[in-house]
Amino acid sequence: MRQQSYEKLVGNLEDITKQYRLLLECVRKEKEYLIQTNIEKLNEVNVQKEQLLGHTRSLDTLRVTYASDLAQHLGMNTNEPRLLELAQQMGGAEGDRLRSIHSALELLTKRLIEFNRENATYAESALKTVNSAMDNIKDSVTGQKTYQKKGTYRQGNDSAGHFVSKEA
């Protein structure tokens, strides 16, 4: 029974690793399309990314279940068991396998975070450029305002008794 729980968990973790690799590829394509300003392809990649994220979430839910099941067979706390704790408890080749998967997932996660930060920078830059262009277009279309402030009020020394005109 313990071996079945371990195999379910490892299979699930391998599926999650595949999903993370696919997500990483999507994020790389997203960066490329942001640089190229290819909106059509960017939208396609975003749809694909959302689908992958949904599938990854469901796999992660299963991971928690499988990890709790394995922790129960190992006599550990089944409340959110950590992968490295499971690996330590398993020992041997099985523990090494879990540690290997953990390090691969950690590396993929770091890469995904890096690419997402870069993509956010590119997206913000593109938005600033588009907003500037929109403001320029708006200014050129709007034209001159009917009422403009042309004159200014000058303050100087007030001296009583000087009339500009005697007519009332």
Domain ranges in the chain? 1-133
The whole-angstrom separation of Cα 101 and Cα 4 is 18
Q: Percentage of residues in the chain with pLDDT exceeding 70?
A: 84
51: confidence class by pLDDT, cuts 50, 70, 90: very high
Q: What is the pLDDT of residues 64-84, one digit of tens each?
A: 999 999 999 888 877 888 888
Angle at 96 between CA 91 and CA 101, to 5 degrees: 130
Q: Which two tokens stand for residue 132?
A: 């500037």
Q: Does residue 91 or residue 59 have the better pLDDT?
A: 59
Count the Cβ atoms, other than its own, within 10 Å of residue 60: 13
Measured in whole angstroms, the distance separating CA 51 from the mean position of its chain's CA atoms is 15
The CATH label, of 1.10.10.410, 1.20.58.300, 3.40.50.970, 3.40.50.920, for the domain at 1-133 is 1.20.58.300
Which of 39-43, 98-102, 125-129 reaches the highest mean pLDDT? 98-102
Q: Percentage of residues in the chain with pLDDT exceeding 90?
A: 48
11: confidence class by pLDDT, cuts 50, 70, 90: very high
The whole-angstrom separation of Cα 53 and Cα 142 is 44
Q: What is the pLDDT of residues 113-165, one digit of tens each?
A: 999 899 888 888 877 877 777 777 777 777 555 555 666 655 655 555 555 55
What's the confidence (pLDDT) of residue 130?
A: 75
Q: Which two tokens stand for residue 91?
A: 């020992």
pTM for this prediction: 0.72
Measured in whole angstroms, the distance separating CA 45 from the mean position of its chain's CA atoms is 14
Examine the pLDDT at 88 and tell me if it is beyond 70: yes
